[in-house]
Amino acid sequence: MNTGDRIRLARKNKGWSQERLAEECGWESQGRISQYERGIRSPSYSDLIRIAERLGVKSSYLLTGEYQTATGAPSSIQNHATAVPVLDWDDVRQWIDEGAGRSSLGITHTTALVGNRAFALEVANDVMESHAGWPSYPPEAVIIVDPDRKADNGDRVIALLPDSNTATFKEIVFDGPATYLKPLNPAYPTATAPTGTVIAGVVVQTIINE
């Protein structure tokens, strides 16, 4: 059972349709709810909090299934999250080159649908901390990265620059033949991705401790 399954279970436990939940969340249609429940998209942290509040459950329950819901959803629901290694930023290139089997800083879990090369990183600075709300990735947030997912315009990615051994975290922007790496914090400049840049993976989930 994943996050989408738990959203659907909590919604039905409350007796709401997808349309009703979307309305309570302030969204124009149920499309977003439908995509979350079917696993087409993973909810952002802010959406997860909003859904949990409207359904009367804990966000940690929707994310991992680890805790009971505030309204008493079945306690038999188990956590079927996928374990992924937490890497040091300097080890990303070697992880991509060599694959699973390298040592890591530890293990975390994700409810996102990821490939077997997925890994996690702890955000180390404020480059991707937005001043305009979500998406925003403050220091110490944990990001789940999937190397097997193709980067689309506007995705947050982990990039490996040709002149650096350390990975960098940016939003990718495609503009004609040019590719840019854009920080969400306006205090930092947007830069053209140099020739030889490797996209190590797309960020598919964020874990922020409350």
Q: How confident is the model at residue 100 (pLDDT cuts 50, 70, 90)?
A: low
Q: How confident is the model at residue 126 (pLDDT cuts 50, 70, 90)?
A: very high
Average pLDDT over residues 98-105: 61
Q: Is the pLDDT score of 20 beyond 50?
A: yes
Q: Which CATH number applies to 82-207: 2.170.8.10, 3.90.870.40, 3.40.50.970, 2.10.109.10?
A: 2.10.109.10
Average pLDDT over residues 33-37: 92
Q: Is the pLDDT score of 133 beyond 90?
A: no
Specify the higher pLDDT residue, 46 or 65. Answer: 46
User: 3-64 is classed in which CATH architecture?
Assistant: Orthogonal Bundle (1.10)
Helices (H) and strands (E) in the chain, counts: 6, 9
Q: State the chain's mean pLDDT as an integer.
A: 83
pTM to 2 decimal places: 0.62
For CATH 2.10.109.10, list the domain ranges present in the chain. 82-207
For tokens 């009971």, the residue is: 68
Give the CA distances from residue 127 to residues 19, 130, 144, 186, 188, in Å, rounded to whole numbers and listed in that order.
Answer: 37, 8, 17, 8, 7
Helix, strand, coil percentages for the chain (3-state, nearest 5)? 25, 25, 50
Q: Is the pLDDT score of 79 beyond 50?
A: no
Average pLDDT over residues 6-19: 84
Is the torsion defined by CA of 96, 102, 103, 106 positive or negative?
positive
Q: Is the pLDDT score of 76 beyond 60?
A: no
Residue 102: predicted pLDDT = 53
Q: Which residues pair with 199 in a beta bridge?
A: 159
Phi, psi dihedral angles at 145 (to 5 degrees): -120, 130
- Residue 193 per-residue DSSP state: P
Phi, psi dihedral angles at 98 (to 5 degrees): -105, -20
For CATH 1.10.260.40, list the domain ranges present in the chain. 3-64
Q: How confident is the model at residue 77 (pLDDT cuts 50, 70, 90)?
A: very low
Q: Is the pLDDT score of 81 beyond 80?
A: no
Beta strands in 24-81 (DSSP E): none
